[in-house]
A and B are shown apart, each in its own frame.
Chain A
Amino acid sequence: MIYNEKAECMSAPEKEELQLRRLQDVVKRAYENVPYYRKKLEAAGITPADIRTLEDIEKIPFTTKSDLRDAYPFGMFAVSTDDIVEVHTTSGTTGKPTVSGYTAKDLDIWGEVVARALSMAGATRKDIVQNCYGYGLFTGGLGVHHGGQKVGCTVIPISAGNTQRQIEIIQDFKSTILTCTPSYAMYIAEVLEREGIPPEDIKLKAGVFGAEMWTEEMRNEIERRLNLDALNIYGLTEIIGPGVANECMEKNGLHIFDDHFYPEIIDPQTLKTLPEGEKGELVLTTLTREGMPVLRFRTRDITALRKGECGCGRTHVKMDRITGRSDDMLKIRGVIVFPSQIERALLKIPGMEPNYQIIATRPEHLDELEVQVEASPALFSDEVKHVEQVTRSIEKQIHDEIGLRVTVSLVEPQSLPRSEGKAVRVIDKRDMS
């Protein structure tokens, strides 16, 4: 069901007119109220009056993560802190965290876009949403919470962790929609199987999974094990949180809510805007956010945009599933490798548990990649030669996918870390100095 038909099924000319009006408005608001943008636009010789067409957005300089970090804590706010009613931050693993600030109107917008996302998963007032995204400074928990409440669902603010309790609640409260990271969904599936809980006792019909990269193959695994529709949600704290884009039941690309967030694709090297259908770095501009407008934010996520009709009836532009970030990628012996490629290769092997870890080392001045995979009955045998054969065939599968020779090591079940949030798949032990 479509949450907001007027917005989600808007005709292209009407949408473009709306986007242009909103773009002109946000550039004006940023110019007038955010010293950082005033300085940046003046330096580029731009004033709000210079935005006359949508293409004029290309005149605006990019905003990067480090720009936002430098403004810590509240330097990017366009309103007085008195008007900011909620703040969230990024995790700050690579330095000072980035702060995102929301006015009451912004929370309304956030709720609206997440409501559209949940509705794509079939959520209505009758649904019970088990929200395992972390509540707190992370945008996942409260973002889905706001959206769920807008739809009128019964939201269980269970947050992440305590998987035994999660399982009990899924059964006792008869949750129908699961929201969490895909790696946590896999973990829940694993525990359900281990406890021998019959599928009839689970009322889950759909899941809205995101906050980390996951493959089409991982979706198939999750759908098979949890017996639900697994949809991909996309978002980022700097823009709003979850709810920038979401998959519809066509499962063929994520609709970007482009009446609120204007997307572009650029070549990360040349910074030139790329045409529809070409893969590159996603750049986003908030069109309606009040508290903290963001212009041309370089997300570092790699994707492509696709216009045209969708079987669901929505006209929002679609983006491909994110298969890597421009900073997620590993360079091994000069070859670019994305963890998603390895995931895809592993999941093509029957009986493979999707628990893996990639370790990059440089033992003798040459990069080496080790892929640790948990042993399972399907991969084991009483004969050494069979186990070695299996290991070699996994190595071959990966080699076919990435063109590089890797070493596959079997490790014991449950020995690789499980995640409640984003799974850490890559450990880079190379000293890059």
Chain B
Amino acid sequence: MSEDKRRKLKQISVFLENRKGRLWKAMNVLSSAEINIRALSIADTSGFGILRMIVHNPEEAKKALEADNFVVKVNEVIAVEVMDKPGGLDELLGVLNQADINVEYLYAFVEKKCDKAIVVLRTEDVDAGIAALEASNINILNADDVNLL
């Protein structure tokens, strides 16, 4: 059970109204709280944006943002190693496709681990996603590995 828990990575998502300066404000709050961002992506729609981030201390980041009236959600995602060359991501997505796993979104870490790139993945069913990846011997990084990057 605890093995499994470690394989899921915590991600924070922040609601951003489509107004000038909101992204800047969120970043400002995080830097004031000395939160280090390891990976981020922004999904934008015409009305709003969702800022998703992997930070070294999600609980602290959530508290800092909420104190400044941001709406924050914490949920679980998977950090996966892929070969850092053309075709690396292709292989990963192939495995998930074969196993009929729906990918909601995906973005990359800035850091890498030796010759491997790290990718953040959100599957519709997180447990099924982990199972499918492990069945194909794809390396899933746990929270500790990520923090050491």
Contacts and interface: CB of A to CB of B under 8 A. Distances in A.
Interface in B1-46: 11, 13, 15-17, 19, 22, 43, 45
B122 A412 contact: no
B50 A375 contact: no
A303 B104 CA distance: 51
A164 interface: no
B71 A387 contact: no
B90 to A, nearest CB: 24
Contacts of A411: 17
Q: Number of contact residues on A: which range applies? A: 20 to 34
A381 B75 CA distance: 9
Contacts of A388: 45
Interface residues of B, number: 22
A375 B71 contact: yes
A410 B48 contact: yes
Contact of A410 (B17, B52, B75): B17
B113 interface: no
Interface in A377-393: 377, 379-385, 387-388, 391
Contacts of B104: 383, 385
Interface string A393-422: 000000000000000011111110000000
Contacts of B47: 391, 409-410
A412 B15 contact: yes
A375 to B, nearest CB: 5
A411 B49 CA distance: 11
A376 interface: yes
A414 B69 CA distance: 7
A300 B123 CA distance: 56
The CB with the most chain B CB atoms within 10 A, among A382, A409, A414, is that of A382
B69 A381 contact: no
Q: Is the interface of B mostly helix, strand, loop or mixed?
A: strand
A382 B74 CA distance: 8
B71 A377 contact: yes
A382 B22 contact: no
A376 B71 contact: yes
Contacts of A413: 69-71
B149 to A, nearest CB: 22
Interface in B98-148: 104-105, 122
Contacts of B73: 377, 380-382
A375 B48 CA distance: 11
A412 B68 CA distance: 11
Contacts of B22: 412
Contacts of B13: 380-382
Contacts of B50: 382-384, 387
B45 A380 contact: no
Nearest to A408: B47
Contacts of B72: 377
The CB with the most chain B CB atoms within 10 A, among A375, A379, A391, is that of A375
B29 to A, nearest CB: 13
Contact of A384 (B11, B43, B75): B43
14 contacts: A380-B13, A380-B15, A382-B73, A382-B122, A383-B50, A383-B104, A384-B43, A385-B104, A391-B47, A410-B47, A412-B22, A412-B70, A413-B69, A413-B70
Interface of A: 375-377, 379-385, 387-388, 391, 409-415
Given A375-B48, A382-B75, 20 more contacts: A375-B17, A377-B71, A380-B13, A381-B13, A381-B73, A382-B11, A382-B13, A382-B50, A382-B122, A383-B122, A384-B50, A385-B104, A387-B48, A410-B15, A410-B17, A412-B15, A412-B17, A412-B69, A412-B71, A414-B69
